[in-house]
């Protein structure tokens, strides 16, 4: 079997950015399907599997599920390298709630939090479990990624022994503002067909100077600092 790298999430820790701007641009088999269907026909020497559901399957899922998933990954890919992103617990919860609302949720934050398994917030326990299973585990903090994504990307690429690709300086799915959350909850609770609801959400995002769901927002810097050789990240 070729070399396998598994990016287990967590969701809302820059996972989409890494998938779109890093992993998909490397000369590897890149798999985003939970059923690994992207693997068929790929003959490259290295495989990267990246899916947030490996660490958080559903918002109301038991925290123990991710430990069972980690055990299963060990049985299937015993020599895999693991990449995991973590984040300040309160910031992570708020961001998860924002994503839940984007996906059609109607609960208040308190209702959402009530049904959320608080053991998910014990990142240290999960990381310790991963390190007990796998020899090589790379952990990054979202706060560091947000502060200097180019340094973190360089460290990830060094960890998996791949050159750093040229990336675009963009943001994917920024968290909703409080105003947007209130509007989304109202829309989500109404019996609109999906298409009508999407149009209304687009208008809300446009008025709030944000792109609609599923698209990205370009940051002020149009050229990637990496393209300019910032921080010595280019390989």
Look at 9 and 198; give whichever has higher pLDDT: 9
Cα maximum dimension of the chain: 52
Integer angstrom CA distances of residue 126 from 30, 78, 142, 170, 227: 24, 17, 16, 30, 35
Predicted local distance difference test score (pLDDT) of residue 2: 83
Cα separation, 111 vs 86, in Å, equals 23
Provide mean pLDDT across the span 121-125.
97
Provide mean pLDDT across the span 199-224.
51
Predicted local distance difference test score (pLDDT) of residue 208: 55
Provide mean pLDDT across the span 33-39.
62
- Residue extents of the structural domains in the chain: 3-173+214-232
Predicted local distance difference test score (pLDDT) of residue 77: 94
Predicted local distance difference test score (pLDDT) of residue 139: 98
- pLDDT tens digits, residue range 131-170? 999 999 999 999 999 999 999 999 999 999 999 999 888 8
Q: Which residues contact 209 (CB under 8 A, 6 or more apart)?
A: none
pTM beyond 0.95: the answer is no
Cα separation, 163 vs 213, in Å, equals 31
Q: Which long-range contacts (CB under 8 A, 24 or more apart) does 223-226 make?
A: 223/169, 224/166, 224/167, 224/168, 224/169, 225/150, 225/169, 226/150, 226/153, 226/164, 226/166, 226/167
Q: Which of 36, 43, 51 is nearest to 2 (CA)?
A: 43
Q: Is the pLDDT of residue 216 over 50?
A: no
> Which token pair is 83?
């990449």
Look at 200 and 114; give whichever has higher pLDDT: 114
Q: Tell me the sheet residues that pair with 21.
A: none
Cα separation, 11 vs 35, in Å, equals 18
Q: Is the pLDDT of residue 105 over 80?
A: yes
- pLDDT tens digits, residue range 169-181? 887 778 889 988 9
For the domain covering 3-173+214-232, report its CATH number: 3.40.50.300
Provide mean pLDDT across the span 115-140.
97
Taking each continuous run of H as one helix and of E as one strand, the counts in the chain are 9, 7
Angle at 103 between CA 107 and CA 146, to 5 degrees: 100
111: preceding bond cis by omega (within 30 degrees): no
- Burial of residue 175 (number of CB atoms within 10 Å: 0-12, 13-18, 19+): middle
């Amino acid at each position: 079997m070729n070399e396998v790298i598994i990016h287990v999430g967590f969701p809302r820790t820059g996972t989409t950015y890494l998938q779109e701007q890093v992993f998909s641009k490397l000369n590897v088999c890149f798999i985003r399907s939970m059923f690994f269907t992207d693997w068929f026909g790929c003959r490259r020497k290295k495989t990267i599997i990246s899916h947030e559901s490996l660490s958080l399957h559903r918002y109301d899922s038991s925290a123990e599920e991710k430990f069972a998933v980690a055990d299963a990954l060990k049985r299937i890919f015993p020599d895999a390298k693991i990449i995991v992103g973590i984040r300040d617990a309160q910031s992570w919860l708020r961001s998860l709630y924002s994503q839940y609302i984007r996906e059609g949720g109607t609960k208040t934050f308190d209702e959402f939090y009530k049904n959320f398994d608080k053991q998910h917030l014990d990142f240290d326990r999960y990381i310790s479990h991963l390190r007990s299973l796998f020899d090589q585990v790379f952990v990054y903090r979202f706060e560091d990624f947000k502060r200097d994504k180019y340094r973190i990307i360089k460290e990830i690429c060094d960890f998996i022994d791949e050159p750093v690709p040229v990336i675009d300086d963009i943001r994917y799915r920024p968290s909703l503002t409080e105003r947007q959350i209130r509007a989304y909850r109202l829309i989500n609770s109404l019996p609109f067909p999906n298409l009508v609801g999407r149009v209304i959400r687009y208008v809300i995002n446009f008025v709030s100077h944000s792109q609609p769901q599923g698209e990205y927002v370009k940051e002020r810097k149009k050229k990637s600092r990496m393209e300019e050789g910032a921080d010595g990240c280019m390989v």
